[in-house]
């Protein structure tokens, strides 16, 4: 993995800006201690040329995942569910239930991060083929979820001083990005149509 020297102040994000760019939906059934809201049918989102569109998918792991981007909570991602968010581009720290890692998000890009158990209790968000997003969320009928303001406030309170610990755990390692043409298959061994077309 590439080693980075990452200035900590550069990656500060306030709670409010992340809430504004999150892709919220309103209808649904509450779960995960009434913090995560299960919306209607799976849906896809439009990209923004100035931001990175990131899908967090929990289709392999058991239990709920808590997700933080830098200092701010993104929300809960229960099993068999996903959430999506528009992030400011740059190197961002993703942590929470999964191991803390740095990810490099480019403006106008789309990323698919899937929660994968790597060993023991260790889980990590692994970059997968973004061309597989449609087939994944529609084919597996994954629930699109968002987290209520109350749930985000609870996550913010739970985080406490854990951000400093996440910084130490992440060290200077940048998570491996999905590289077009490098992986011929997605994590389930399927070759998405977009990958076939690009070969």
- The pLDDT tens digits for 43-101 are 889 999 999 999 999 988 777 899 999 999 999 998 889 999 999 999 999 999 888 99
pTM of the predicted protein model = 0.75
Question: How confident is the model over 99-104, as a mean pLDDT?
Answer: 91
Task: Write phi, then psi, for 131 (nearest 5 degrees).
Answer: -70, -15
What the block records as the tokens of 99 is: 């191991």
Residue 5 maps to a domain: no
Residue 1 maps to a domain: no
End-to-end CA, the chain: 26
Instruction: Residue 61: give the domain boundaries.
Output: 12-177
Strand 101-105's sheet: what is its strand order?
A: 72-77, 65-69, 90-96, 101-105
DSSP at 42: -
Give how many domains the chain has, as a whole number: 1
Lowest pLDDT segment from 11-15, 93-97, 107-111, 146-150: 11-15
Residue 3 maps to a domain: no
DSSP at 62: S
At 60 the pLDDT is: 80
At 186 the pLDDT is: 56
Residue 35 maps to a domain: yes
């Amino acid at each position: 993995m590439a080693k980075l020297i990452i200035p900590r102040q550069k990656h500060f994000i306030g709670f409010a800006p992340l809430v504004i760019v999150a892709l919220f939906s309103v209808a649904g059934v509450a779960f995960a201690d009434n913090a995560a809201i299960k919306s209607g049918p799976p849906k896809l989102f439009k990209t923004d040329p100035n931001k990175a569109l990131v899908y967090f998918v929990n289709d392999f792991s058991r239990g709920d995942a808590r997700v933080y981007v830098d200092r701010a909570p993104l929300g809960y991602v229960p099993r068999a569910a996903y959430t999506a968010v528009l992030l400011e581009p740059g190197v961002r720290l993703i942590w929470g239930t999964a191991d803390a890692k740095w990810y490099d998000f480019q403006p106008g890009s789309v990323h698919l991060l899937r929660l994968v158990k790597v060993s023991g209790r260790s889980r990590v968000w692994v970059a997968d083929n973004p061309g597989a997003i449609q087939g994944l969320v529609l084919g597996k009928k994954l629930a699109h979820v968002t987290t209520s303001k109350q749930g985000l406030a609870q996550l913010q309170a739970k985080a406490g001083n854990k951000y400093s610990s996440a910084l130490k755990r992440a060290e200077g390692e940048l998570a491996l990005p999905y590289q077009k043409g490098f992986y011929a298959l997605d994590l389930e061994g399927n070759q998405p149509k977009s990958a076939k077309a690009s070969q």
